[in-house]
Amino acid sequence: MHSRLVSFSLLLTVLTCTENLSFGADTLFRGPEDRVPRGIAKFGTDEWNPIYGNHRAVVEVKEAGDAVLAYLPWRRRDAHPEGKNILVVDAKSGKVIANRVIVTCNKEYGEVAFQPTEGPGQYFLYYLPPVNDGNAFQWPRSSFPITRYPTPTQTASAEWLAKNKLTTDDLRTLPVRRYGQDPVLGGSWRKLPSAELVEFQSLKDATADDWNSFYPMEVISTFAERTQLRDRCRFRPFILFPENRRYPIRMTDQIPYRWAIRDVKELDEFADTAQKNEYYVFQIGVYAFKGTLPHLKTAFTELRSKEGAVIPMEAFTCFNMGGVDQYGKAFTKTVHVAEDRVQPLWFGLDIPKSAQPGVYEGTVTVSADDVAPQEVHLRITVEDKSLADHGDGDAWRLSRLRWLNSRTEIDNDVCAPFPPVTVDGQTVHVLGRDIELAADGFPRQATSHIDMFAIGDTGRAILSSPVHFDVVKDRTPVPLESSTAKCVEKDPGVVRFTASATHGGLREEVDTAVEMDGVIHGKVTLTSDADITLDTVKLTIPISADVATFILGSGAQKPLTSKCPESYQGGLEKHKTTWIGDYNAGLALCLPDDRANWVNLGKGQLRVEHQNGTYALSVETGSLEISKNVPKSFEYDLYVTPIKPLPKQHWDWKYDQPSYGKVPHLNKWDDSHATIFTLHQGNLLNPYINYPFLNAPQLRQVADKIHGAGGLFKAYYTIRELSNRAPELWALRSLGDEILSPSPEHIGYEEMSQLPLEYQFKALTEHPLTGQSWMCEHLVSDYHTRWHSLMDSKRQYQDGSVQISGASRWSNFYIEGLKWLEVNAGLDGLYLDGITFDRASFLRVRKALVRTKPNALIDYHGSPAEVMPQLSCIDSLWFGEGADYSRDPDYWFVAISGIPFGVPGELLQSHASVSKGMVYGLSHRYGWTPADPRGLWGWWDSFKIKDAEMLGYWTPNCPVKIGNPAIRVTAYVHHGKQAAFAIASWSKEETHISPEIDFAALGIDPAKAKLHAPEIPGFQKAAQFEVGKPITLPPDGGLILILESTGQ
């Protein structure tokens, strides 16, 4: 408390001191009474133990003494410096000095008295030391850190305090001076010998020396300097601060010293150099020092050189004023600047490749409602050099910001593996499926021709009757009279039909689109010429009972993953996706994220009912109000499954994926026998989560190594979060919550630090959390932390991340970035841990990949239920933390295998049974867990499993049966030669089985058949068996048997 009193007293002194004192240009304060900084101290970097924090002051004691006083003009941005401790450490011994007193501590400066225990020499004053977290390297704190700063504590001895007159009473100020009197401050501590400031230092980072530094854009101006700035600009309605891209604007509630000392000319002009074909980026800070600035706007003139060359005004972009959304639509933003706040504006200038070298001049104008506009005169020198890539290869240029407004891959064309959509009357043909529409625009029938790995001539009908949409009033469906659906759009990747129906004053508009991957997107819009109340609006999908074998759902509290139930009901707020089907035919119903009209204030319901040979899957709203002439829309998607045939290449996809945080040993690549190398994030080769651009050269070296051995290279790169190392971070932050998601209650460290500890620690893997110290000290407030990585035990390599909104133009940036990484980092595909893209954006991701590299692959870490809208774009599934590998075979088949959807899976978690996995064609990945799949892969190749026909227990023509529901089997058949039987037990007891083999179906003479278990390293030992004799399986065990013809 005493430091706050002293700080307040000193502030009064600053406000009332006389102005006739003289001081040199390098003086840091005026005199004993006026301690406010004048000028700026030196800032540098160095290395030390990070337990002391990221910031310190280095002071020099010239003469031995019992107490010295260090004056620290630190110009801090944190809101409550007086609430944080300061440690004094002797540079020679490294010992913390107990006898120290924080005399003054405010945002502008501090004063610390201490005992120089080692005599003359240097001492370090650490002014943001964090609480030592003993759990920092343990889950969950290692990935979701909480940073706290201890409050000041009294460690000095009473004797030392009294001797040097540094007790609380000694430090108190005298009574406030009366009008006309000179200020008087008490305390002989002012006369203590000085510990002279050498410099302020920030802790060097292993990858960027100045990573933790506040200099220059977070070194604040003093109150006096801001007052003088305002006075210089008193005739302006607001102040513009043009700034170089090398110094991103970081503070919106403070003015940096760098700006406060600018004269009027420096405020009005901006000059820099650029190259031809460069996307040049700069920024302007808008300071609302006189009041709120509503509806900020920008305008540009052309840039013209003295020689008459012109860069047109259309070459300018202000990212804060608007752009292009993820659907390719232009949008504008409304920007207001609150009083005494700074709004950074980021600009791009697309310099033509053909631009003539020279100095180009023009203006940028910034305006707001009811105030005079302000201008900045630009002078851009275009050098006689040209950038081949617009500057994208140089992170510091920030030219990649233009990717935010990209429209790449926004089209209605197809991409592999899907052929163009064809239409025959009301029937639409897509890959392996036929979709017939009824006259009212709803699906009449959906037929699948996909059977595991093949597309056959004979299809399997899914619907028992047409899909119908009922508007129910007075317990009776309204008899809407429908027009015949017409095809109004026909592109290779999508066709669209529209229809309408009316009854009295009620009108129904139906819009149905069928896309290349068999997705049926429906939108029904109801409009009434009068206010009406309906009993319900109901969409019903009647699925044939012979198809409705399994169910898979997402969003429910207890996920639906089992045999299809006779009946089920649940609230629509809990359900998003529900699939019903079999291995070769099915339908998934997906409702949009914004499904408020379906949910209908909690009245909306999902139902499954089995009646008369039909499983009716339906969604309905419950009682519903429709206002006069106010359209109300109901959207849905139907996914006809399987989405595509299972790829035979699955047997060639053998993954080497080093576990999290480990640096891969590429010299052992050949030993893995893998064909695909997947690099996770959080290691020294790919350290920055979802921002691999900074390490592109290193990734290219990995890719070249893998490509040289004939393999494919994939890396972790998704969109859920973004590394705080991304150079674009500050530009993104200037966009508000458009791309960077705000934290709950819009809080960050400054707000969290004021809350009780029990709140801060309430949910260590949820939010809000403070994140690493860098976030506390630089992002400060209103940020949403995500995953953090510690890449070595010394914390030399640390990465943190913030939440990203997938439904934003960051999707545009990501897709452009993906194409860049394919070319410059050698990527052949993606490993996705979580997907926050919507379907439209993810289709663009797929197109960007396979149009650049036709063999590119995407694998997803999760269940198919989570990503049904994106599933057609995914090549393989790797279901991990959420998977329950102890569950029944139906769960394995539906939730893990991916077979019903045409997307193969793989095993995650070392305890996942490989015997059970082989029933579904699954293996582990090498390197992620102790499980070693190399022996199994070797057997795949020797058996030529890729050429065998896979016939699982779920197919009607499986040639081997066990007769025990706890035992499941899949046959891999080389007809007429041999067959392998993958057998697994879900029983908790030892089981004896006698497989029933259909020799005729296999084309093998039972009299010439031999049965044995092959030697498979890491899986099973060789053994001989007699055909027809019992075989013993251990609990939860299994084996692979080979039946082959001896030919004798």
Backbone angle region of 354, left / alpha / beta, with phi > 0 → left and psi within -120 to 50 → alpha = alpha
**To the nearest whole percent, how much of the chain has pLDDT over 90?**
79
Evaluate whether 880 touches 873 at the Cβ level (below 8 Å): no
- Three-state secondary structure call for residue 697: helix
Confidence of residue 575 (pLDDT cuts 50, 70, 90): confident
Evaluate whether 240 touches 374 at the Cβ level (below 8 Å): yes
Confidence of residue 206 (pLDDT cuts 50, 70, 90): confident
Cα-Cα-Cα-Cα torsion 740, 729, 52, 88, nearest 10 degrees, comes to -110
Confidence of residue 117 (pLDDT cuts 50, 70, 90): very high
CA angle 372, 377, 381 (to 5 degrees): 160
Kindly state the average pLDDT of the residues 11-15: 34
Name which CATH class applies to 948-1045. mainly beta
pLDDT at 32: 54
- Model confidence at 181: pLDDT above 50: no
- Three-state secondary structure call for residue 666: helix
**pTM for this entry:** 0.92
- Model confidence at 610: pLDDT above 70: yes
Work out the burial of residue 579: count CB atoms within 10 Å of its CB; fewer than 13 is exposed, 13-18 middle, 19 or more buried: buried
Residue with tokens 């050098």: 383
Ramachandran angles phi, psi of 868, nearest 5°: -55, -40
598-607, 662-671, 698-707: the lowest-pLDDT one: 662-671
> How many CB atoms are located within 10 Å of the residue 607 CB?
15
Cα-Cα-Cα-Cα torsion 451, 871, 874, 832, nearest 10 degrees, comes to -150
Evaluate whether 30 touches 17 at the Cβ level (below 8 Å): yes
Helices then strands, each counted (H, E), the chain: 19, 64
Q: Which of 589, 602, 623, 319 is nearest to 467 (CA)?
A: 589
- Model confidence at 1019: pLDDT above 50: yes
3-state secondary structure string across 583-638:
CCEEEEEECCCCCHHHHCCCCCEEEEEEECCEEEEEEECCCEEECECCCEEEEEEE
Evaluate whether 706 touches 684 at the Cβ level (below 8 Å): no
Evaluate whether 225 touches 109 at the Cβ level (below 8 Å): no
Q: How far apart are CA 451 and CA 1033, in angstroms?
A: 31
Q: How far apart are CA 982 and CA 970, in angstroms?
A: 5
- Three-state secondary structure call for residue 230: helix
pLDDT at 458: 94
The amino acid at residue 995 is: P
Pick from 297-301, 788-792, 806-810 the range whose average pLDDT is largest. Answer: 297-301
335: CB partners within 8 A, 6+ apart: 295, 296, 320, 321, 343
Ramachandran angles phi, psi of 508, nearest 5°: -120, 125
- For strands 996-997 and 374-386, give the pairing: unpaired
pLDDT at 14: 35
Report the CATH architecture of 223-405: Sandwich (2.60)
- Model confidence at 9: pLDDT above 70: no
> How many CB atoms are located within 10 Å of the residue 190 CB?
13
Kindly state the average pLDDT of the residues 969-977: 97
Question: Which two structure tokens, joined as six digits, stand for 404?
Answer: 């935010």
3-state secondary structure string across 122-151:
EEEEECCCCCCCCCCCCCCCCCCCECCCCC
Question: Which two structure tokens, joined as six digits, stand for 220?
Answer: 């604040």
- Which regions of 452-505 does DSSP assign to beta strands (E)? 454-461, 468-473, 476-477, 481-482, 486-491, 494-503
Strand partners, 1039: 983
> How many CB atoms are located within 10 Å of the residue 652 CB?
14
pLDDT at 1046: 86
pLDDT at 337: 98
Question: Which two structure tokens, joined as six digits, stand for 908?
Answer: 């995650």
In order of 544, 545, 569, 646, 921, the CA distances from 566 in angstroms are 13, 10, 11, 30, 30
- Which regions of 326-357 does DSSP assign to beta strands (E)? 330-332, 342-350
Under DSSP, the state recorded for 71 is E
Q: How far apart are CA 88 and CA 99, in angstroms?
A: 9
379-383, 752-756, 811-815: the lowest-pLDDT one: 752-756
Evaluate whether 1045 touches 1004 at the Cβ level (below 8 Å): yes
Whether the bond into 140 is cis, omega within 30 of 0: yes
Evaluate whether 290 touches 233 at the Cβ level (below 8 Å): no
pLDDT (tens digit per residue) in 122-154: 999 999 999 988 877 788 888 888 889 999 999
Work out the burial of residue 567: count CB atoms within 10 Å of its CB; fewer than 13 is exposed, 13-18 middle, 19 or more buried: exposed
pLDDT at 144: 86
Rg (CA), the chain: 35
> What H or E segment, with its residue span, contains residue 285?
strand 279-287
In order of 100, 127, 164, 167, 194, the CA distances from 158 in angstroms are 11, 23, 10, 8, 22
- Three-state secondary structure call for residue 869: helix
Q: How far apart are CA 538 and CA 531, in angstroms?
A: 19
Kindly state the average pLDDT of the residues 180-192: 62
Kindly state the average pLDDT of the residues 48-60: 96
pLDDT at 556: 46
Question: Which two structure tokens, joined as six digits, stand for 1042?
Answer: 């080979």
Please report, for the chain, the start and end positions of each structural domain, with discontinuous segments joined by +. 2-203, 223-405, 422-641, 657-720+807-919, 729-803, 948-1045
- Model confidence at 856: pLDDT above 90: yes
> How many CB atoms are located within 10 Å of the residue 530 CB?
11
- Model confidence at 822: pLDDT above 60: yes
State the alpha helices, DSSP H only, in 825-887: 839-852
657-720+807-919 and 948-1045 in the same fold: no
pLDDT at 506: 96
- Three-state secondary structure call for residue 371: coil
pLDDT at 156: 97
pLDDT, greater one: 13 or 80? 80
pLDDT at 13: 33
- Model confidence at 464: pLDDT above 90: yes
Q: How far apart are CA 299 and CA 36, in angstroms?
A: 40
pLDDT (tens digit per residue) in 617-673: 999 999 999 999 999 999 999 999 999 999 999 999 999 998 877 766 666 667 788
Q: How far apart are CA 32 and CA 104, in angstroms?
A: 13
- Model confidence at 679: pLDDT above 60: yes
Work out the burial of residue 155: count CB atoms within 10 Å of its CB; fewer than 13 is exposed, 13-18 middle, 19 or more buried: middle
3-state secondary structure string across 743-796:
CHHHCCHHHHCCCCHHHHCCCCCCCCCCECHHHHHHHCCCCCECCCEECCCCCC
Instruction: Please check whether the domain covering 657-720+807-919 is classified as CATH 3.20.20.80.
Output: yes
pLDDT at 793: 58
Q: How far apart are CA 511 and CA 867, in angstroms?
A: 24
Cα-Cα-Cα-Cα torsion 536, 539, 543, 545, nearest 10 degrees, comes to -10
Confidence of residue 537 (pLDDT cuts 50, 70, 90): very high
pLDDT (tens digit per residue) in 359-387: 999 999 999 999 999 999 999 999 999 99
pLDDT (tens digit per residue) in 845-855: 999 999 999 99
Mean pLDDT score of the chain, rounded to an integer?
91
- Model confidence at 25: pLDDT above 70: no
| HSE-up (13 A, CA, CB side) for residue 38 | 14
Under DSSP, the state recorded for 894 is I
CA angle 124, 126, 130 (to 5 degrees): 150
pLDDT at 1012: 96
- Please provide the distance, in angstroms rounded to a whole number, between the alpha carbons at the two ends of the chain: 99
Confidence of residue 6 (pLDDT cuts 50, 70, 90): very low
pLDDT (tens digit per residue) in 277-320: 999 999 999 999 999 999 999 999 999 999 999 999 999 999 99
- Model confidence at 776: pLDDT above 60: yes
Evaluate whether 860 touches 832 at the Cβ level (below 8 Å): yes
Kindly state the average pLDDT of the residues 800-829: 94
- Three-state secondary structure call for residue 1008: helix
Confidence of residue 178 (pLDDT cuts 50, 70, 90): very low
- Which regions of 651-765 does DSSP assign to beta strands (E)? 655-656, 676-679, 712-716, 721-723
| HSE-up (13 A, CA, CB side) for residue 266 | 10
Q: Which of 959, 956, 986 is nearest to 971 (CA)?
A: 959
- Model confidence at 260: pLDDT above 60: yes
pLDDT at 807: 85
| Residues in the chain, overall count | 1048
pLDDT at 800: 93
> How many CB atoms are located within 10 Å of the residue 40 CB?
17
Kindly state the average pLDDT of the residues 951-968: 96
Under DSSP, the state recorded for 568 is E
Kindly state the average pLDDT of the residues 504-511: 96
- For strands 876-879 and 857-860, give the pairing: parallel
> How many CB atoms are located within 10 Å of the residue 34 CB?
18
pLDDT, greater one: 772 or 298? 298
Question: Which two structure tokens, joined as six digits, stand for 956?
Answer: 């009607």
Confidence of residue 459 (pLDDT cuts 50, 70, 90): very high
- Model confidence at 566: pLDDT above 70: yes
**From the candidate CATH numbers 3.40.309.10, 2.40.30.10, 1.25.60.10, 2.70.98.90, the one assigned to the domain spanning 422-641:** 2.70.98.90
